[in-house]
């Protein structure tokens, strides 16, 4: 799997099997409650608003691919990790359904969100159903011949990650109420919301592939670092991304006052911090962007943030090398890490 196209070949082989696994886990228990499951199918991108089958944007399925690749990388058969891969993707999608409600977002992947289409009460409950079914998926590992002790170790990692997700979301919701947020608190938030599930996906795949604790821990660190780097890269694109590629207006995150690392760093910076704070406390529109981007430039916010991404990426690759040796840098895991951080959208 060290050839350059290893990642694509891996994804082409395993993504259809992953979808089948998830469809099996999310199949209705009986006809009376079919709609409960059909709302989940809609969110997963399998059916339209009338519950008719179709092909819709499903997201990239990055987390389950990481899980399956980690299993393969430690010498396991990825088929063993399919239930776990389904579990991490179902968990991720549960969290999106609830985040959309909590944030009041009306569209996701160019379609109405579940709460917008079927109302808030049913959407909360459909999310809860997916949360439970994520655990059901992971428990399915036993039927694939995984030893009880490994299933329990995977469940422990998974559960810790679920708790961390809610802690991250708690902070995110609280931060929305504030004028500013310390950089350290922001990093704690994205650690919970993003990095913990990326790290858990890798760690669980490794556990199910039979990795030793040392390898598993190193892959967890790899995931944590690239998860953080991925989120911070997203922050950079949200301010300086090419609108033609991101599909969002230039400076989008600034005008939305979204708390992201470049902005929070600049707000803490002694020379321009106070000016920026004052400027952002007033109404803003597109014509104010050049002035604010100048202040960010004066604070070196972009170079600071890009340096964070580079550093986290390097630490991630060092952890990957610890786990699997230097050849892992050219493996699908290393290729995916590079791709995630070079993306322009």
Regarding 13 and contact with a second copy (CB under 8 A), the answer is no
Regarding 101 and contact with a second copy (CB under 8 A), the answer is yes
Question: Toward a second copy, which CB reaches closer, 207 or 236?
Answer: 207
Regarding 133 and contact with a second copy (CB under 8 A), the answer is yes
- What Cα–Cα distance (Å) separates residue 169 from each residue in 165, 166, 221? 6, 5, 21
Looking at the DSSP assignment, which residues form a beta bridge with residue 53? 47
What are the helix (H) ranges across the chain? 6-25, 34-44, 62-73, 82-103, 114-118, 120-139, 148-175, 183-190, 196-208, 213-240, 243-246, 252-255, 261-268, 273-281, 289-298, 301-324, 332-342
Q: Whole-number minimum distance, CB 280 to a second copy, in Å?
A: 23
Regarding 278 and contact with a second copy (CB under 8 A), the answer is no
Question: Toward a second copy, which CB reaches closer, 139 or 250?
Answer: 139
DSSP state of 191: I
* Window 65 to 84, contacts with a second copy (CB under 8 A): none
The span from the CA of 120 to the CA of 106, in Å, is: 11
Regarding 116 and contact with a second copy (CB under 8 A), the answer is no
Regarding 171 and contact with a second copy (CB under 8 A), the answer is yes
Contact 218, 323 (CB under 8 A): yes
Regarding 32 and contact with a second copy (CB under 8 A), the answer is yes
Contact 337, 221 (CB under 8 A): no
Regarding 122 and contact with a second copy (CB under 8 A), the answer is yes
Instruction: Report the SS3 class of residue 29.
Output: coil
Regarding 281 and contact with a second copy (CB under 8 A), the answer is no
- What Cα–Cα distance (Å) separates residue 82 from each residue in 45, 67, 71, 341? 19, 8, 10, 26
* Residue selected from 1, 48, 77, 167 as contacting a second copy according to rule CB under 8 A: 167
Regarding 228 and contact with a second copy (CB under 8 A), the answer is no
- Chain residues in the site for a second copy (CB under 8 A): 29, 32-33, 35-36, 98, 101-103, 120-122, 124-126, 128-129, 131-133, 135-136, 139, 142, 148-149, 151-152, 155-156, 159-160, 162-163, 165-167, 169-171, 173-174, 185, 188
């Amino acid at each position: 799997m060290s050839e350059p196209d290893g990642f694509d070949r891996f994804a082409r082989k395993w993504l259809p099997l992953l979808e089948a696994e998830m469809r099996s886990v999310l199949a209705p228990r009986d006809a009376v409650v079919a709609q409960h499951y059909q709302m989940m199918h809609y969110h997963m991108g399998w059916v339209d608003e009338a519950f008719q089958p179709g092909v819709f944007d499903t997201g990239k399925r990055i987390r389950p691919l990481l899980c399956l690749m980690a299993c393969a990388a430690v010498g396991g058969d990825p088929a063993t990790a399919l239930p776990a891969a389904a579990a991490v993707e179902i968990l991720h999608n549960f969290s999106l359904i609830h985040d959309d409600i909590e944030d009041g977002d009306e569209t996701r992947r160019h379609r109405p969100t579940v709460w917008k289409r079927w109302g808030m009460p049913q959407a909360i409950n459909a999310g809860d159903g997916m949360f439970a079914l994520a655990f059901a998926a992971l428990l399915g590992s036993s039927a694939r011949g995984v030893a009880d002790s490994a299933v329990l170790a995977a469940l422990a990692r998974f559960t810790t990650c679920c708790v961390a997700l809610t802690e991250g979301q708690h902070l995110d919701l609280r931060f929305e109420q504030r004028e500013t947020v310390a950089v350290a608190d922001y990093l704690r938030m994205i650690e919970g919301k993003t990095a913990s599930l990326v790290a858990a996906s890798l760690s669980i795949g490794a556990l199910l592939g039979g990795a030793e604790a040392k390898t598993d821990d190193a892959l967890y660190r790899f995931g944590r670092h690239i998860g953080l780097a991925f989120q911070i890269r997203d922050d950079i694109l949200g301010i300086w991304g090419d609108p033609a590629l991101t599909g969002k207006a230039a400076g989008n995150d600034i005008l939305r006052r979204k708390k992201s690392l470049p902005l929070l760093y600049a707000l803490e910076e002694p020379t321009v911090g106070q000016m920026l704070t004052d400027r952002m406390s007033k109404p803003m529109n597109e014509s104010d962007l050049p002035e604010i981007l100048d202040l960010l430039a004066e604070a070196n916010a972009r170079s600071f943030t890009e340096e964070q991404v580079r550093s986290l990426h390097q630490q991630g690759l060092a952890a990957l090398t610890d786990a699997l040796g230097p050849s892992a840098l050219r493996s699908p895991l290393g290729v995916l890490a590079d791709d995630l951080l070079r993306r322009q959208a």
